[in-house]
A = this chain, B = another copy of it.
Amino acid sequence: VSAAEDAIAVFDSGIGGLTVLSSLARGFPQENFVYLGDTARLPYGDKSPATILKYVQQNVRFLKTLSLKAVIIACNSASSVVLEQTRLDGLPLFNVIEPGAALAWQSSTNKRIAVMGTQATIRQGAYTTKLKAQAAALGQDVHVEAIACPLLVPLVEQGWFEDPITNLVLYRYLHSLRQLDIDTLIMGCTHYPLLKAAIGRVVGAGVTLVHSGEAMVRTLKNADLAWRPPASPPRRLRLLTTDLSPQFHKLAQHILHGLEFGGAECVEI
């Protein structure tokens, strides 16, 4: 694997992080990006924090062999276990939890916020902790409703985005939010933006949906990174995975439509 000079690395447990890459690639049209999906060991969402941390460390060790200017942990389950780390061997390290929590806090007027995520993300409680810390710092109250939605990743990987079965599953998971006067919902897993329309129909138009990719663009705009000058040669989007997966290519085309990117390369980690 040759070096992609000064690229921003986006790491994910598999395929879902492409939604974060998509937002970043569109938000920073001159920047090079390297995406690494750990498809050999996905999903992280049902695994223990210790196992997730081990996998993140192994993947980050590999990413360090490339020429990078920042590492973005796109996976929510992985972000939960590296929450307090802001640098990595001199490189800025970003997780999706803090940008998402900050954007949700700002979007919410009644401070009644819900977060949906995998089992691991919900058990770790990172969004809840961040939102409560934010509220406490301002002497305010916040109500956080956390909902584990383990079937949504498989439904997305099955390709049933607009489907009555997916609608029923979403209704089962989310219908109680209607009674709870929630005004903001964090889509706390990178797969969920692919279900944004269906989620919006269940929770109603009055609820703001927070997208990790959009939150990350907002955070990076304020970050002190050496941006490529306007006259640079065309940027490059490289896709790396740890296992070949037919779903990866199909979903990459769906999520990255309109962007130029190379075929996925398989790397051994």
Q: A residues within 8 Å of B by Cβ?
A: 39-42, 46-48, 51, 119, 150-151, 153-155, 157-158, 164-165, 168-169, 172, 243-247
Residues of B within 8 A of A119 (CB): 246
Q: Cα distance A172–B165 when bound, in Å?
A: 9
Residues of B within 8 A of A39 (CB): 47
Q: Cα distance A247–B123 when bound, in Å?
A: 13
Residues of B within 8 A of A247 (CB): 46
Residues of B within 8 A of A51 (CB): 40, 243
Establish whether residues A158 and B165, one from each chain, have CB atoms under 8 Å apart when the complex forms.
no
In the assembled complex, 6 residue pairs joining A and B whose CB atoms fall closer than 8 Å, in A order, are A40-B51, A41-B41, A46-B157, A46-B245, A48-B245, A119-B246
With beta carbons under 8 angstroms apart, the residue of B46, B151, B158, B243 that contacts A47 is B243
- Least CB separation from A14: chain B residue: B46
With beta carbons under 8 angstroms apart, the residue of B151, B158, B245 that contacts A158 is B151
